[in-house]
């Protein structure tokens, strides 16, 4: 199924829940409202026309100029023998959920795709997006007592961590880190 | 019975209070495995909650090799980032280079010359063999067999020699690059490669005789850590782990990238015991199948390489003008079939030559996340069998 058709189905089913569809991009995606995301996610997984049974990746984005954070969910339908009529579906689609930078809350989809559990922990760890109803939302790559969210564009590098020097003067003075 | 909530970083090695019922009480114990442990394949730490020999919970803790490669990607031009991709899955540097290169090529719209694509396929498959050889050898080590490791490294050495003759490096190649490959093949490369394949292919049977069908090895791995096909997809397991669960899914076949649609090869999937010489105690999705799928894949890789060698054409090995490219204000997500599963790169451009965001979807990261789900109720000695069969590389898990 073409991305256009997926967008038409989604808009028909959820109306205002779909904020925007970006089809001329290198990899098409739809932007959905954060409060309807759980229902849309379940629909994408269960609807016979799509059956997105595999959550490949969750990418957290920092949209600093819009004062927003975003999570991008890359979905794929993998044919599994004996699990529904998805033998012919081999499609890829992406959903983007944007939230306010000051209160970045997104409902967790780890109950829908267990694979999301670690991806969401990573997004929380690196970008500070809080996934509500996540079974264990703790840092995953950084130590528990790490401060700040390293992948945010306005992240300030720590000078030291438990006495270990972490940033050199040269790095602090360079315009981008 | 006392329970303990496991949280990373907390002091988990404390005693757990026992039950208060009479004599026949069992006591739960928390066992810390790793991060420095020979069977964890790198710096993986697993906290096991055990009741006697039974594992009730096995929680992986990762991040010991975290270097925030994604942040580095936001500070460098794409061609400068290629060496960092080598250091993610350091057993399959070529495939990592290839994944990132394809992502950038797709984003910018660079056409890769045909010869370069053939060279890429040859090196990606050679690296797949080299990576599976390490997996095969170290899995033998995990199960207490030392000899297969030496056999595997003997052949891997020859592949590394081939790599060295082409790009000078033996582990971190940075050979496959944006727009093609860094250098053309050296003289007589294809002849030497042909000799290697003639030598290597019969060795695969030897490996199976030595390890895969060894009675002790089968006892240790068959029907251990069974992952159903449905679970494998729900947990987004990919690569040999997914195929061992009986799902016929390989990106090289299902959504071909590069020129994989030109080659004729099979996708080995996990088989139930009793069929095609598979030991009777084996079930689909167990550790033995995860092991054997990798061995069978080596043979298919040889087939692909032979076809690529026969079809390779002359021409340039890299596209013109690939450095200092401006990345459009767009985003791309590309996955390719790495030896360990689907390696994904998300790249977002903002009009400058430096990406606004680089995200890596590591197959080891996703594959090891299922450990707690699979490890419930197995024996303590099965944990190394499961971890080893999932075949993780922490460099790419932690990035």
| Inter-chain touch A25–B62, beta carbons under 8 Å | no
Enumerate the residues of chain B whose CB falls inside 8 A of the CB of residue A126. Answer: 68, 70
Annotate B152-173 with DSSP letters as a single string.
Answer: HHHHHHHHHHHHHHHHS-SS--
**H or E stretch at A160:** strand A160-161
Enumerate the residues of chain A whose CB falls inside 8 A of the CB of residue B107. Answer: 26
> In chain A, what are the helix, strand and coil shares in percent, each to the nearest 5?
25, 25, 45
User: How many angstroms separate the CA atoms of B382 and B388, rounded?
Assistant: 10
For B368, nearest residue in chain A (alpha carbons): A118
Give the confidence band of A89 by pLDDT, cuts at 50, 70, 90: low
Q: Which residue of A79, A115, A150 is in closest CB contact with B236?
A: A115
| Inter-chain touch A54–B233, beta carbons under 8 Å | yes
**So what's the pLDDT on residue B229?**
87
| Inter-chain touch B230–A141, beta carbons under 8 Å | no
pLDDT tens track for A39-52: 889 888 888 777 88
Judge contact between B165 and B184, C-beta under 8 A: no
| Inter-chain touch B229–A145, beta carbons under 8 Å | no
Q: What DSSP character marks residue B329?
A: S
The tens-digit pLDDT sequence of chain B (399 residues) is: 334 444 444 444 444 455 455 666 778 888 888 787 777 777 888 899 988 888 888 999 998 888 888 988 888 888 889 999 998 888 888 999 999 999 999 888 888 999 999 999 999 999 999 999 999 999 988 888 889 999 999 999 999 999 999 988 888 898 998 888 888 888 889 999 999 999 999 999 888 888 888 888 998 898 888 998 888 888 989 999 999 998 888 888 888 888 888 898 888 888 887 777 888 888 888 999 999 999 999 999 999 999 999 998 888 888 877 777 888 888 899 999 999 999 999 999 888 888 999 999 989 999 998 998 898 888 888 888 898 898 888 888 888
A105 touching chain B per CB within 8 A: no
User: How many angstroms separate the CA atoms of B63 and B45, rounded?
Assistant: 9
| Inter-chain touch B344–A142, beta carbons under 8 Å | no
Structure token pair of residue A39: 């229902």
Q: Which residue of B230, B342, B346 is in closest CB contact with A80?
A: B230
Q: Where are the beta strands (DSSP E) in chain B?
A: 28-33, 45-51, 54-61, 176-177, 180-181, 331-338, 341-348, 357-361
Judge contact between A91 and A76, C-beta under 8 A: yes
- Which of A76, A122, A137, A162 best tests the B interface by mutation, with the highest count of B CBs <10 A? A76
Q: Can you list the domains of chain A with their CATH numbers?
A: 3-145 (3.30.460.80)
> In chain B, what are the helix, strand and coil shares in percent, each to the nearest 5?
45, 10, 40
Cα→Cα distances B320→B111, B120, B178, B181, B324, Å: 9, 17, 10, 12, 12
- The sign of the CA dihedral B297, B303, B307, B312 is positive
| Token pair 């061609």 in the structure block, residue | B79
| Inter-chain touch B236–A143, beta carbons under 8 Å | no
**H or E stretch at A165:** strand A164-165
Q: In degrees rounded to 5, what are phi and psi of residue B331?
A: -140, 155
**So what's the pLDDT on residue A175?**
56
- Which of B231, B233, B249, B336 best tests the A interface by mutation, with the highest count of A CBs <10 A? B233
Structure token pair of residue B227: 């992952």
**Closest-CA residue to B71 (of A84, A68, A156):** A156
Annotate B74-142 with DSSP letters as a single string.
Answer: TTS-HHHHHHHHHTTSTT-HHHHHHHHHHHHHHHHTPPPPHHHHHHHHHHHHHHHHHHHHHHHHHHHHH
Shortest distance, CA B367 to any CA of chain A (angstroms): 9
Enumerate the residues of chain A whose CB falls inside 8 A of the CB of residue B246. Answer: 81
Cα→Cα distances B270→A5, B112, B245, B249, B275, Å: 35, 35, 6, 12, 11
**So what's the pLDDT on residue B21?**
54
Enumerate the residues of chain A whose CB falls inside 8 A of the CB of residue B335. Answer: 56
Shortest distance, CA B223 to any CA of chain A (angstroms): 21
- Which of A25, A54, A71 best tests the B interface by mutation, with the highest count of B CBs <10 A? A54
Judge contact between A170 and A80, C-beta under 8 A: no
Structure token pair of residue A134: 């996540």
A117 touching chain B per CB within 8 A: yes
| Inter-chain touch A140–B63, beta carbons under 8 Å | yes
Q: In degrees rounded to 5, what are phi and psi of residue A126?
A: -90, -35
CA B245 to chain centre: 16
Shortest distance, CA A87 to any CA of chain B (angstroms): 11
Cα→Cα distances A148→A176, B145, B347, Å: 17, 46, 23
Measured from the Cβ of residue B168, the count of other Cβ atoms closer than 10 Å reads: 12
Structure token pair of residue B337: 């079939």
| Inter-chain touch A56–B70, beta carbons under 8 Å | no
Does ipTM top 0.90?
no
- Which of A22, A53, A56, A72 best tests the B interface by mutation, with the highest count of B CBs <10 A? A56
Measured from the Cβ of residue A161, the count of other Cβ atoms closer than 10 Å reads: 14
Largest CA distance in chain A: 59
* Crossing angle between the packed helical segments B114-142 and B189-207, to the nearest 10 degrees: 30
**So what's the pLDDT on residue B22?**
60
Shortest distance, CA A35 to any CA of chain B (angstroms): 23
Shortest distance, CA A12 to any CA of chain B (angstroms): 26
pLDDT tens track for A145-174: 888 898 888 887 777 788 887 776 666 666
Structure token pair of residue B175: 């050979």
Q: Could you tell me which residues come within 8 angstroms of residue B333 by beta carbon, excluding any fewer than 6 positions away?
A: A27, A56, A57, A59, A72, A74, A92, A94, B103, B344, B345, B346
| Token pair 């460098």 in the structure block, residue | B76
A68 touching chain B per CB within 8 A: no
Structure token pair of residue A111: 């109950």
**So what's the pLDDT on residue B20?**
55
Enumerate the residues of chain B whose CB falls inside 8 A of the CB of residue A122. Answer: 365
Judge contact between A127 and A154, C-beta under 8 A: no
Q: Could you tell me which residues come within 8 angstroms of residue B132 by beta carbon, excluding any fewer than 6 positions away?
A: B294, B295, B297, B298, B301, B339
Residue range(s) in chain B whose domain bears CATH number 1.10.645.10: 70-398
Q: Which residue of B68, B246, B254 is in closest CB contact with A90?
A: B254
Q: Where are the beta strands (DSSP E) in A18-139?
A: 18-22, 29-32, 54-63, 68-76, 92-100, 105-107, 130-132
| Token pair 């720590």 in the structure block, residue | A158
Enumerate the residues of chain A whose CB falls inside 8 A of the CB of residue B284. Answer: none
Cα→Cα distances B149→B64, B134, B141, B289, B293, Å: 26, 8, 7, 19, 18
| Inter-chain touch A56–B342, beta carbons under 8 Å | yes
User: Which strands form A68-76's sheet, in the order they lie side by side?
Assistant: A18-22, A29-32, A92-100, A68-76, A54-63
CATH superfamily name and code, B70-398? Cytochrome-c3 Hydrogenase, chain B (1.10.645.10)
pLDDT tens track for A119-148: 999 999 999 999 988 998 999 998 888 888
Cα→Cα distances A142→A161, B113, B290, B343, B368, Å: 12, 41, 30, 22, 17
| Inter-chain touch A53–B8, beta carbons under 8 Å | no
Judge contact between B314 and B334, C-beta under 8 A: no
Q: Which residue of B247, B330, B373 is in closest CB contact with A78?
A: B247
């Amino acid at each position: 199924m073409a991305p256009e058709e997926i967008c038409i189905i989604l808009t028909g089913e959820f109306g205002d829940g779909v904020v925007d569809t970006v089809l001329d991009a290198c990899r098409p995606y739809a932007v959905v409202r954060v409060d309807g995301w759980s229902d849309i996610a379940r629909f994408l997984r269960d609807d016979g026309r799509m059956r997105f049974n595999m959550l490949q990746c969750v990418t957290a984005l920092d949209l600093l100029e819009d004062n927003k954070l975003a999570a991008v969910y890359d979905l794929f339908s993998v044919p599994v023998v004996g699990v529904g009529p998805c033998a012919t579906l081999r499609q890829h689609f992406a959903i983007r959920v944007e939230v306010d930078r000051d209160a970045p809350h997104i409902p967790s989809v780890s109950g829908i795709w267990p694979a999301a559990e670690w991806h969401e922990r990573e997004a929380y760890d690196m970008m500070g997006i809080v996934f509500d109803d996540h079974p264990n939302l703790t840092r995953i790559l950084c130590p528990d007592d790490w401060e700040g969210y390293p992948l945010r564009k306005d992240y300030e590098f720590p000078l030291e961590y438990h006495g270990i020097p972490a940033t050199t003067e040269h790095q602090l003075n360079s315009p981008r880190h | 019975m006392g329970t303990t909530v496991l949280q990373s970083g907390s002091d988990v090695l404390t005693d757990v209070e026992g039950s208060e019922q009479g004599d026949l009480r069992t006591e739960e114990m928390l066992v810390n495995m790793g991060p420095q442990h020979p069977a964890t394949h790198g710096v993986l730490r697993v906290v096991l909650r055990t009741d006697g020999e039974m594992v009730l919970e096995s929680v992986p803790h990762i991040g010991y090799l975290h270097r925030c490669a994604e942040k580095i990607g936001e500070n460098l031009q794409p061609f400068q980032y290629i060496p960092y991709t080598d250091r993610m899955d350091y057993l399959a540097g070529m495939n990592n280079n290839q994944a990132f290169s394809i992502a950038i090529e797709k984003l910018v719209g660079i056409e890769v010359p045909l010869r370069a694509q053939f060279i890429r396929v040859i090196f990606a498959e050679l690296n797949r063999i080299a990576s599976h050889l390490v997996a095969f050898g170290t899995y033998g080590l995990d199960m207490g067999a030392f000899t297969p490791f030496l056999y595997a490294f003997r052949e891997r050495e020859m592949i590394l020699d081939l790599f060295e003759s082409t790009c000078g490096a033996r582990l971190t190649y940075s050979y496959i690059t944006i727009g093609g490959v860094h250098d053309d093949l050296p003289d007589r490369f294809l002849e030497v490669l042909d000799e290697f394949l003639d030598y290597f292919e019969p060795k695969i049977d030897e490996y199976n005789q030595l390890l895969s069908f060894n009675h002790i090895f089968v006892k240790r791995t068959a029907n251990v850590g069974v992952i159903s096909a449905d679970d494998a997809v729900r947990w987004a397991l990919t690569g040999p782990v997914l195929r061992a669960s009986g799902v016929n899914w390989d990106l090289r076949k299902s959504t071909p990238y590069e020129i994989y649609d030109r080659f004729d090869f099979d996708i080995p999937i996990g088989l139930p015991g009793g069929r095609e010489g598979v030991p009777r105690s084996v079930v689909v999705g167990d550790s033995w199948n995860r092991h054997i799928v990798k061995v069978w894949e080596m043979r298919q890789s040889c087939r692909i390489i032979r076809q690529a060698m026969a079809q390779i054409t002359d021409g340039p090995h890299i596209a013109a003008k690939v450095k200092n490219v401006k990345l459009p204000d767009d985003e791309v997500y590309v996955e390719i079939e790495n030896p360990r599963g689907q390696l994904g790169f998300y790249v977002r451009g903002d009009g400058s030559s430096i990406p606004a965001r680089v995200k890596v979807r590591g197959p080891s990261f996703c594959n090891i996340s299922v450990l707690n789900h699979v490890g419930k109720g197995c024996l303590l000695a099965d944990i190394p069998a499961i971890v080893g069969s999932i075949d993780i590389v922490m460099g790419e898990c932690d990035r």
